[in-house]
Copies of this chain bind each other. A is one copy, B any other.
Amino acid sequence: MQIFSKRIPIFCMFLAGLSVQAKQPTDYVNPFIGTSNFGATHPGAQYPHALTSVSPFNVAHSPELNKFEKDAAWNSRVYVDDNAFLTGFSHVNLSGVGCPDLGVVLLMPTTGELELDSEKYGSTYKNQQATPGYYSNELQKYAIKAEATSTQRTGLSRYTFPAGQANIILNLGLGLSNETGGALRIVSDREIEGSRTIGTFCYNPEDVRPVYFVAQFSQAAKRFGGFKKMPKYTGVEGEWIGHNDVIKPYPNYRQELAGDEIGAYFSFDTQADETLQVKVGISYVSIDNARENLKAEQPNFDFEKTQKAAEHAWNRLLKRIQLKGTDQNKTLFYSALYHSLIHPSIIQDVNGDYPLMQANRQASGPLFGNIKNSGEKNRYSVYSLWDSNRNVHPLLSLIYPEIQSEMMATMVAMYNESGWLPKWELLGMETQVMVGDPATVVLADTYLRGIQDFDINTAYTAMQKSADTALNNPLRPENQDYLHLGYVPVDDEGPYDGSVSSSLEYYLADFNLGVLAQILDKTKDAKKYLARAQGYRKLFDQQTGMLRPKKRDGSWYTPYDPQLGRNFEPAPGYIEGNAWNYRFYVPHDIPGLIALLGGEDNFIAQLEATFATNNYDMANEPDIAYSYLFNYVPEQAAKSREKVSALIKQHYHNTAGGIPGNDDAGTLSSWLIFSMMGFYPTAPGIMEYAVVAPAFDEVKIHLSDKYYAGKPLIIRPIEGEQSNFNGKKLDKAFISHKLLTQGGELRLAN
């Protein structure tokens, strides 16, 4: 019941939206931004925070037409704008993520004699169009117009065919995921159901799960069947077998078909310009739920209605921030906001069912109760927390606190279900990707921002478990050493050692836990964790001015080259970066670091040197806030303004390559959003934003009336004067979260 009430507002929006004449935020969104230059976004039909999406898939086969083939390199993208050979439309997709997964349940329309080999049925395409909730192109090989739209849990595709034989192929073999294997059953001449294994995300720890689907066609197929790639037979068997190492069709087949490379086809006889539609329901719980999702969210084949509903769902979110400024900047901004509102995404079905966290990994616990119900709330998934703790969640906390609240409740539920908070959670699987203890950072930071309607007591227990468990701690595998030495030692971990990176993440997590303990009146805890957070000083090397890998015996790791790691070569001590990238990564105590560096002058000199020597990487997270650090020396704040402005100009564009690297589930986009609004949360757990100049004449934020003042926050530039808030000059180059969320006018010096 709650589900239907969740859906109704969407359609009310749609009806209300009909009378709106002005340009909507979605009109500015360019979904192609980030589809080149390893941005790893997709241009497909996408609903906000949705479980499903429909993306063109162009990363298989054809080295001539595809610059980036999925198997030829580490490729985390279902669509690359540099590529040209399309082999279908995938129905579950990640956005801005650095490891390959999902990109499965591929539909492909073709014409003429049936060809079931994706290498042969693929096509070039032209006239691509994409807006939030809509994608279309023309498949040149077949003269088919392909269009897609989607809801939260369903995709709807519309194919306009020429006259003749039209085919729609569902391929469960092809996909981006490193996993293989699927099962299907043709239910009728207009319906097919099945599942496809996904997982082994980042090749570690190789956990898997099925994604379930039900696909229904707007017309009954004239002919249909399954297909399967046959193994390679040799010797006598090879002489006899009809289909050897090739795809074998099974005409009219309609029982279960399972295997590594299977699929099904449906053929129709079409008139010129006849359209066929396919709707696909997705679930991570069961085929029955996929069908229920389809029935609830896509009862008919109303493409325009679905598209409008998606567009209005987007506008409902995007218009919380209204902008005055250039169209170019609005495009950059709203496209970034769009990309920040995809993950975490919901995983519960329309009936509330979702797969238990770590359901397929738990040896103990509720063995076979691997499905739970989310009740009234959304259940979220795809938590790229090492990335998103830095700015995605602070952005959501500020603009969409009701969503952030549900995301926090989900994280606490994950602890209840699996015994641990998430680190890099994907569809109920803990993938153990990256380092640190970021859930603690996000939960504490969120609570501190005033979003407190989640179970903070359980959350606190969970954070403490992570902070204090010495052995067999999946979030902090090196915690025994960390607790004993006050840092993670470099010993014994080889070239891929991440001892400094891990330590710095733990200090930040401990700081956040300490600050949270303070406001929860757990004074003793607060003291302990805040003291631990100062442990970074042990890694500060006076000689190099770097946070340097240290051995178990207290001696520095040598030989030591702080430049090492610039080109992704192994740099002992550092994960995804080098010493320079990490040298200011103590966001919770920049003043302390300034002192260690001998004072403000050297701090500023070293900060400038970081940029000057090209040791700042806009596309990576550890140093993502560095351009704002000049603000810690108030008279140098102009340098932050200049640097931020310059970085925007240099790295963000209204082009496919317009995100400087993996968007990291919205992290690079969220940097842009804050930066264009003129302020940035430099330190989780510290309720201040560093201010720069806004990129707009006016930014108007509709502050939540539940969590915040309920009135607008307006940001405008001010020429030749000091920054002020509601007329009161800022006493430093920061403004507090508390002040900001009271609403009013923030005027920022240019």
Contact = CB atoms under 8 A, between A and B. Distances in A.
Nearest to A358: B252
B180 A254 contact: no
Interface string A338-380: 0000000000000000010001111100011010000000000
B242 A206 contact: yes
B259 A259 contact: yes
Contacts of A555: none
Given A252-B360, A254-B359, A367-B189, A200 B241 contact: yes
Nearest to A203: B240
A569 B376 CA distance: 74
A248 interface: yes
Contacts of A250: 206-208, 360
Contacts of A355: 255
Interface in A232-252: 233-237, 240-243, 248, 250-252
A74 interface: yes
A709 interface: no
Question: How many of these chains are in the complex?
Answer: 2
B71 A234 contact: yes
Contacts of A260: 181, 231, 259-260
B237 A178 contact: yes
A1 interface: no
A248 B237 CA distance: 27
A361 B251 CA distance: 6
A382 interface: no
Nearest to A202: B240
Interface string A180-224: 111100011100000101001001101111101000000000010
A185 to B, nearest CB: 9
A3 interface: no
Contacts of A254: 359-360, 367-368, 370
A256 to B, nearest CB: 5
A73 interface: yes
A73 B250 CA distance: 26
Contacts of A204: 242
B252 A178 contact: no
Nearest to A195: B256
Nearest to A191: B368
A611 interface: no
A340 to B, nearest CB: 28
Nearest to A210: B256
A191 to B, nearest CB: 10
Contacts of A241: 178, 200, 203
A532 B574 CA distance: 89
Interface of A: 71-74, 178, 180-183, 187-189, 195, 197, 200, 203-204, 206-210, 212, 223, 228, 230-231, 233-237, 240-243, 248, 250-260, 262, 355, 359-363, 367-368, 370
Given A183-B258, A188-B367, A231-B260, 10 more contacts: A180-B228, A180-B231, A182-B258, A197-B258, A200-B242, A208-B253, A210-B255, A250-B360, A252-B362, A254-B360
